[in-house]
Amino acid sequence: MANIASAKKRIRSTNRKTIVNKNRISKIRTFEKKVEEAITEGNHESAMSALKAVQPELMAGVNKGVIHKSTMSRKISRYNTRIKRLK
C-alpha cells in the first residue's frame, strides 16, 4: 500500500477514472448490441439507424481515450460490410 500522499491521491484518482471509463465502455457496448440485434434480425433499415446511433458513441469513446481510433474504424467498417450484405 502507498505511504506517500501523492501516491495515495493517484490511487484515488485512478479509481474514479476507472469507474467513469467502465461506464463509457458499457454505454458503447449497449449501442453495439443494438446494431448486432438489428443485423441478426435481418432488418436493413433498423440496422442502418442503429449504426448511425453507434458511430457518435464510438467517436466519443475515441476522444475520451477509452478505445483506440483503429478499433473504432474497424468496428464501423465491419458493421457497414455486414449491413450491406443484408440488402
Supply the pTM of this predicted model. 0.86
Range of the domain at 29: 5-86
Of the pLDDT bands very low, low, confident and very high (cuts 50, 70, 90), residue 39 is: very high
**Nearest-angstrom CA–CA distance, 28 and 33:** 9
Number of domains in the chain: 1
Q: What is the CATH number of the domain that holds 79?
A: 1.20.58.110
Is 6 exposed, middle or buried, given 0-12, 13-18 or 19+ CB atoms closer than 10 A? exposed
At 69-86, the pLDDT tens digits run 999 999 999 999 999 999
Position 87 scores a pLDDT of 83
- Reading phi first (left if > 0) and then psi (alpha if -120 to 50, else beta), residue 50 is in alpha
